[in-house]
Structure 1
Amino acid sequence: MGLCCSTKKQKKELTIEDFEILKVIGQGQSSKVYLVQNKEDEEYFAMKSIPKTFIKDQNQFERLQTERDALINLNSPFIVNLWHAFQTNEYLCFILDFVNGGEMYTYLNSRSQFSENRIKLYAAEIILALKNIHELGLVYRDLKPENLLIDKNGHIRLTDFGISKFIATQKANSFCGSLEYIAPEVWQHDSYGIEVDFWCLGTVIYEMKYKMPPFYSTNLREMQNKILNGNPKFDENCSVELHDLIQKLLTKDPKQRLGTKSIREIMEHTFFSDLDWEKVEKQEIIPEFIPQVKDSSDTSCIDSQFLNQPIFEFHILPDIVKMDQNMFGGFSFSKFK
């Protein structure tokens, strides 16, 4: 998704009528993401839409409010920006940066291997994103390659805060996340905190190296047993420093896991010893891989399974949904009010 931050101040609260819907570019369990263009200034954005019927039926409004509040308050070059939030009679919509370099997941499924230098920069940018998330009192809970976008300059952009949670001084206890990335304490139904994000980080770094999560199995019970009791497998092509970092992030006991005392424990690990963190934060390190995109509307790096879907929802659904619209009050937001 190329960064599409408009420099023009929007004087009004935007609605669906202010955008032309161009293509489907993503889909979640309950949401769909579109490439849209602002009709006034012709900027391109990603629009995430969630049906109100799903929010109401599944009692998900608090979770959606958390996603909205998180995106409003987060401030990192490695996290997608929320520019507007509004609603139609049928949908709640987020207008976000359109990051068009593709998902990390797509590149992990390609033939090329990630070098350790490439892994190092990606990991560092993810760590800085998590640092910002945790400083806000949030646990992210869904770190995985599908939620790691590559921007047009080759940098990481973290997206989808749909299952993030403000925990402040308390702990979380719900079982959620993508199964192959879920930490042992979550599988055991223990209460947990930000340490689960460091487990996910270790899993993602391992996957960047080996193209497969460390404990993956098509058999759910076997995968759960591996996560609770197994050890990740390494080969001679993994450096001592990377091996040690992954091992310490994938420590079963969350109290002993690297990062639990402070995220600086991870930043100061020997794997990152030659990295200038200030340059990383300022995006002054040129990534090893730069996506080949022509312009800010280029969708060539987006998975064709999404692009081939028809656009119909906003045109054929009835204009009125029989539900109490007051339950969605206070959702709207504009960064340029």
Structure 2
Amino acid sequence: ILEDDDKHTSLVRFVSDLIELDQLFKQHYGIIASPFKLPILPNLSDSHIATRSLHRFLSKFKNNNNNKKKKSNGEKVETYLRMCAGHPLLGTSSLLRDFLSPQQEEEEEKEKEKEKENTKVTPLVCTKSSPLANYKQNQRTPTRMTLEDLQFLKVLGKGCMGKVILVRQQSSARLYALKAISKEWVIAQREVEHAVMERNILSKVSKAHHPFLIKLHHSFQNANQLFLVMDYHVGSDLATQLQLNYHFDDYRCRFYVAEILLGLQELHRLGILYRDLKPENILLAADGHIVLTDFGFSRLFDEQSNDDKKNTMPYHTHTFCGTPEYMAPEVFLSEEYTFAVDYWSLGIVMYEMLLGYTPFSHDNDAELYRRVLEDPLDIPEDMPMATADLILGLLEREPEERLGCGHMFDNQLGFEDIRQHPYFSSLDWNDIYHKRMPAPFIPHLKSETDVSHFDPDFVKLSPRLSTQHHD
């Protein structure tokens, strides 16, 4: 039983599960964590074997002052897991997070019934009725967080809305990625709805505990900015890796595409349209597996809003948004679209990972739009047939004909259509989900706060917060 102020979680784990976790730690972090001592898994006894002998059973009751009381398995496991949770690398790893999350039907996580304290919200410069006035801390988090709790270390990324900064929580010494969003920019660009929706999507995604989706830990605000506190992933993103390697080999591409696909399909299952799948939003964790992040352009559909629309496209919208190189034709045409646009983006990302460039790229936006709508797709002659067929299927201009999308227009998501494609014939999807496939690249770290995998142009920036866009 794992318990904190907000919830308690009931898990079933066996000695073999702990041994497997310990082996995974050593496999993925043995070299990386060399400066930090890895926790040692204690010897765990099998209770059935230990009590099989009558002599051994009775010996427990002997009054021998020289025999010290031995620790139970439970005490040993608790000590080991506490050491893992407090470790600078293991404590933030997806391996430990997955191990401590419900995975079977008999396991559960329940919210505690308790009186909710009112969260103090700093008033906005606009009106009290603004949706941002409700932009406050995620209620699932056990303690409140403020800027005073955080030590600012390095800038990891920067955009028009603000910065992403590596921070350390003072009390736990745990590292997080802090996304700071300028309220001035949000209001000026009329992005209030998107800012609030991003927080709501992150909250919903975090409850799903999916291995390939980012997790939100806290959200709060001050007079000038909105803050999202998320998992920190040490390997930067696939865009940075593509800059270093130009393109990926077949194994590495298939590995990433499979994990991206499972992340996308979980978003769709939750009623979330991603709309901004691109290498910059695909992070690499310390274990070499991917994590999808940045839901600033995403749309969370109201499940009840489509109940009476059985004869129309499910979960549809027509907003023009995204990154042009990865946007589907129906978005450019201002047509109603659905989850099919995410599979088009997946096809573009897959093409870029294999060849080092996107298929319709151009410096002029108008020419880019024309290429997306009209130009034939250039497939190299030496590309394997199954690989080419998957790319062609994902980059089908008609959304109804796009691979994995036909069922969407019958109010079904059709998850299996893409998974059963010959390109993935060598994969076991359970192995993919549980991260049993060897990662093709594992970030090497010299220290806990090594940010050498991130763009140096961002890292050299001052990690302070400011309302000025040029900082």
Name the TM-score, length of structure 1 as normaliser: 0.89
In 2, the alpha carbon distance for the partners of 1:230 and 1:239 equals 22
Residues 133/295 of structure 1: CA separation in 2 closer, same or farther (3 Å cut): farther
1:23-80 per-residue CA deviation (whole Å, 9 max, x = no partner) reads 1111122121000000001000000001112222223222112111111111311111
Equivalent in the alignment of 2:319: 174
- Tell me whether 1:16 sits opposite 2:168 in the alignment: no
Contact 2:141–2:218 (CA under 8 A) maintained in structure 1: no
Select 1:257's aligned residue among 402, 419, 422: 402
Contact 2:141–2:217 (CA under 8 A) maintained in structure 1: no
List aligned pairs for 1:1-337, cutoff 5 A.
4=92, 11-74=142-205, 75=208, 76-111=210-245, 113-167=247-301, 168=303, 169=306, 170-260=315-405, 261=407, 262-313=414-465
Structure 1 vs Structure 2 CA RMSD = 2.0
In 2, the alpha carbon distance for the partners of 1:185 and 1:63 equals 21
Q: In percent, how many aligned pairs have the same letter?
A: 35
1:65-122 per-residue CA deviation (whole Å, 9 max, x = no partner) reads 2111111111311111100001112111000111111210111122454111111110
1:261-310 per-residue CA deviation (whole Å, 9 max, x = no partner) reads 21211111000011000010001111112121234422110110101111
1:206-248 per-residue CA deviation (whole Å, 9 max, x = no partner) reads 0001111111111222211111011221223311101000000
| C-alpha displacement of 1:10 | 6.6
In 2, the alpha carbon distance for the partners of 1:180 and 1:155 equals 24
Residues 296/80 of structure 1: CA separation in 2 closer, same or farther (3 Å cut): farther
Letter in 2 for 1:102: S
The unaligned stretches of length 5 or more in structure 2 are 1-88, 98-139, 307-314, 408-413
The unaligned stretches of length 5 or more in structure 1 are 318-337
| C-alpha displacement of 1:192 | 0.5
Contact 1:101–1:293 (CA under 8 A) maintained in structure 2: no
Stretches of 4+ aligned residues off by more than 4 angstroms? none
SS at match of 2:92: coil
Contact 1:46–1:96 (CA under 8 A) maintained in structure 2: yes
Residues 237/289 of structure 1: CA separation in 2 closer, same or farther (3 Å cut): farther
Structure with more relative contact order (C-alpha pairs < 8 Å, separation 6 or more): 1
In 1, the alpha carbon distance for the partners of 2:334 and 2:233 equals 35
Name the TM-score, length of structure 2 as normaliser: 0.64
**Considering only CA atoms, is the larger Rg found in Structure 1 or Structure 2?**
2
Deviation larger for 263-272 or 228-237: 228-237
Equivalent in the alignment of 1:335: none
Letter in 2 for 1:194: F
SS at match of 2:220: strand
Residues 150/237 of structure 1: CA separation in 2 closer, same or farther (3 Å cut): farther
| C-alpha displacement of 1:11 | 4.4
Deviation larger for 61-70 or 274-283: 61-70
